[in-house]
């Protein structure tokens, strides 16, 4: 069953992509004590993720922070090296990268999808959320193949 507004973020291991390499971090501690705008993509370097989703957060980072967001983070079922390179290549220093290489976070959230038809296996659904001190206060999950509610513009309206 997928998470919903009011639920706590599940505590699983993620990999923080840093310039020095991957650093393990627990999702419970990452989201503790701050307001995070989190968005998830099915895959780094995939068309919608690279052309629309990530750029929306790069463009709106200052506006999100002005509305009380302490950190903007992206997650995907990709390894930390791919995610880190994608952010350096197309993102910005305003975006924190949380690699979910094994899909444990997506699975714990109940927000996985089967992308086997595209040769990608189990992936995260596309979504966005606001997490305040570990609690989900806004959640926007896309229908498969859609991009209409998980961009930065939607979170700005909800803040």
Residue 7 lies in a domain: no
Pairing type for strands 127-132 and 135-141 reads antiparallel
CATH code at 32?
3.40.30.10
Based on the residue annotation, tell me whether 4 is a catalytic residue of this protein. no
Q: What is the pLDDT of residue 152?
A: 95
Q: What is the pLDDT of residue 144?
A: 80
Strand ranges (DSSP E) for the chain? 13-18, 21-26, 35-40, 71-76, 95-99, 112-114, 122-124, 127-132, 135-141
What range defines the domain where residue 75 resides?
13-142
**pTM across the whole model:** 0.92
Q: What is the pLDDT of residue 1?
A: 77
Q: What is the pLDDT of residue 96?
A: 95
Residue 112 lies in a domain: yes
What pLDDT digit, counting tens, does each position of 114-123 carry? Answer: 755 665 658 6
Residue 92 lies in a domain: yes
Residue that is written with structure tokens 């991009």 in the block: 147
Q: List beta partners, residue 13.
A: 26
- What is d(CA 107, CA 100) in angstroms, rounded to the nearest whole number? 10
pLDDT above 70 coverage of the chain, percent: 93
Residue 8 lies in a domain: no
Q: What is the pLDDT of residue 91?
A: 82
Query: Which residue positions in the chain have pLDDT lower than 50?
Result: none
Q: What is the pLDDT of residue 35?
A: 98
- What is d(CA 8, CA 53) in angstroms, rounded to the nearest whole number? 24
Q: What is the pLDDT of residue 123?
A: 67
**Of 14, 36, 49, 99, which one is the catalytic site residue?**
49
Number of domains in the chain: 1
């Amino acid at each position: 069953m997928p998470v919903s507004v009011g639920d706590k973020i599940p505590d699983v291991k993620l990999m923080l992509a840093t310039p020095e390499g991957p650093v393990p971090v627990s999702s419970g501690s990452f989201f503790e004590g701050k307001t995070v705008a989190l968005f998830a993509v099915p895959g780094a370097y995939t068309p919608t993720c690279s052309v629309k989703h990530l750029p929306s957060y790069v463009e709106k980072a200052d506006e999100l922070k002005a509305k009380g967001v302490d950190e903007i983070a992206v997650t995907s079922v990709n390894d930390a090296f791919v995610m880190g390179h994608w952010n350096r290549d197309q993102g910005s220093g305003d975006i924190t990268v949380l690699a979910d290489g094994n899909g444990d976070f997506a699975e714990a959230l109940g927000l996985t999808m089967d992308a086997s038809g595209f040769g990608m296996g189990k992936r995260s659904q596309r979504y966005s959320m606001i997490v305040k001190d570990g609690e989900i206060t806004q959640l926007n999950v896309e229908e498969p193949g859609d991009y209409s509610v998980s961009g930065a513009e939607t979170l700005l309206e909800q803040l």
